[in-house]
A and B are shown apart, each in its own frame.
Chain A
Amino acid sequence: MSKILDKIEIPTDRFEIRLSGSGGQGMIFGSVVLCEAIGQSGDKSVVQSQSYGPEARGGASKADVVISDDEIYYPKAMKLDLLLAMTQESLDKYYGDLKDHGTLIVDTSLITELPTEDYYGLEFTRLARNEVGSIVVATVMALGAICALTGLFSKEALTEAVLARAPRGTEDRNKKAIDIGYDEAMKIKK
């Protein structure tokens, strides 16, 4: 019989999010504005970390955000509560890190093979191209969906955080992307 390994439980005082996609899709940008939106929405502790370096350009790229009401000890994700996958490769690579019954959000315009039926699928990239006119805002749209599906932060806080960091002249596109992501997610929210 094991002395401890059979008895341990995953800490319940943490909420762990991973944004994953391919390098250049804005996963790190997304994780930073996510932190700022959460920071504006209350007194929670947040830690953001990222995979860094040549391997983060192209291929699977990820950024993790850990949220807690208490002091956050381990700064990286241990078992994800929420995984956003923007590409098939990132889904394949990180799905195993998601908790049982954790929230899976995928971009179904790029992802065709799902390992489970328990997921939220939205066509972020297609909607970004067709409705906003730029695929660059697909990740921001996904943040709108995370906002709607988790309620961890308000849409206003998210919009403020995105606009504070986004290049000038992109305000309307970003706002529209957040709105679409939020509204589409509300339609499928379980």
Chain B
Amino acid sequence: MANKQKKLLQGNGACVEGAIYAGMTVYAGYPITPSTEIAEGCARELPKLGGRFIQMEDEIASIAAIIGASVTGRKVLTGTSGPGYSLMSELFGYAYMTETPIVVVNVQRGGPSTGLPTKVGQADTMQARWGTHGDYNAIAIAPSTVGECLTETIRAFNLAERFRTPVTVLLDEVMGHMREIIELPEKGDHEVFDRVKPTVPPEEFEAFAMTDNLVSPMPSYGEGYRYNVTGLTHDVKGFSTNRTDETIQKLDKLFNKIEHFTDEIFKSRVELVEDADVVFISYGTVSRAALQAMQIARKAGAKVGSIQLYTIWPFDYEMIKRATKNCHTVVVAEMNMGQICHEIQKVLDPSKKLETVQRYDGEIITPMELLEKLEEVL
């Protein structure tokens, strides 16, 4: 490989690099620990690139500003944590409903409320799926290394643009603050996807037209295509409707444009499950403890495998079924009181045991804790 530029970066800093690589030109946000370095990085870098960094009065205004900027054709980002992600919930719904691509990095800390501002948690996993009211489908992804913070943020932008939808990148305090030396990608190393624009003349344009893949071409405001943007349930032209048939069509579109493409969105790392008696299932920073525990256990002669979820939502239930078919026990490890374990429970064959390792004290799960669980279940 050619000599690529290497840099010691925090996870938060790598998110900034990834967003810029993907073409982000607008960041609006309100700094909050442990995500502040994302705002700092964007404030430093965006003006140099002709982009805009705006510090807003709060997180509701932050997400509103990036939705507006996205409608004008910009690729947009905001970063937040804890209570900030909760404040964004309402406008997340607006972005789902108006099918506006946005990327939100949530560097998770302990909760609820202001909780543990400087400590680690993974308790926003279900909030990333169900945070706002109503029926919709969500995309959330979780990197586990600084390098992946960069590449998964690029992927988040691609998914947001491809599916015209909000995407949450779930980090946690440890992931956001840890530093690793990574290679910075050059142009062309990673695919960058831009939203599909309409090709029909403006007078024939329908902003929420039904298409084969359920994603409607999206013009930028000012390009001559006029359409109505509203959080009310709307018809293909964007005007509000109470009609049952149009309501069903809109909600089915929101749901299925993601659900039908789960294979394309889902990403995981599956290690040594074929002969495993016990399989760890984890995501984010915890996956690194799981891989470490797997390596140590294998060396000690125990048959252990690991499934790491890079895509949390949409959840690939079929993949979990396949990858757990040979084991007798699944150990779901997460830094909360049990969230993704319930999704596993839905699909796990009843003949298999479901065990959990959970921490919600602001500290990360260690390989030793997983090995102690293995001792119990092997």
Contacts and interface: CB of A to CB of B under 8 A. Distances in A.
A78 interface: yes
Given A4-B371, A4-B378, A75 B178 contact: yes
B366 A52 contact: no
B288 interface: yes
Interface in B331-354: none
A8 B371 contact: yes
Contact of A46 (B181, B297, B366): B181
B371 A52 contact: no
Q: How large is the interface on B (under 10, 10 to 19, 20 to 34, 35 or more residues)?
A: 20 to 34
A50 B177 contact: yes
A48 B375 CA distance: 30
Contact of B179 (A11, A32, A53, A73): A32
Chief secondary structure at chain A's binding surface: loop
Interface stretch (B71-79, B204-212, B299-307, B316-324): B299-307
A46 B180 CA distance: 6
Interface residues of A, number: 27
Interface string A35-52: 110010000011111101
A122 B233 CA distance: 71
B178 A49 contact: yes
B187 interface: no
A5 B295 contact: no
B357 interface: no
A73 B177 CA distance: 16
Q: Most chain-B Cβ atoms within 10 A of its Cβ — which of A35, A39, A50, A75?
A: A75
A66 to B, nearest CB: 10
B296 A11 contact: yes
Interface in A18-71: 32, 35-36, 39, 45-50, 52-54
Nearest to B119: A53
Contact of A49 (B174, B291, B366): B174
B329 interface: no
B292 A73 contact: yes
A3 B292 contact: no
Contacts of A46: 8, 180-181
Given A8-B296, A39-B181, A75 B285 contact: yes
A76 B365 CA distance: 11
A52 B289 contact: no
Contacts of A74: 288-289, 291-292, 366-367
A5 B372 contact: yes
B372 A39 contact: no
Given A8-B297, A8-B299, A32-B179, A39 B6 contact: yes
B173 interface: yes
A54 to B, nearest CB: 7
Nearest to A161: B8
B215 interface: no
Contact of B181 (A5, A11, A35): A35
B295 A35 contact: no
A32 B295 contact: no
Interface of B: 6, 8, 34, 117-119, 173-174, 177-181, 285, 288-289, 291-292, 295-297, 299-302, 364, 366-368, 371-372, 374-375, 378
18 contacts: A4-B375, A8-B296, A8-B297, A9-B296, A9-B299, A11-B292, A11-B295, A32-B8, A48-B179, A49-B178, A50-B177, A73-B289, A74-B289, A74-B291, A74-B367, A75-B174, A76-B364, A78-B292
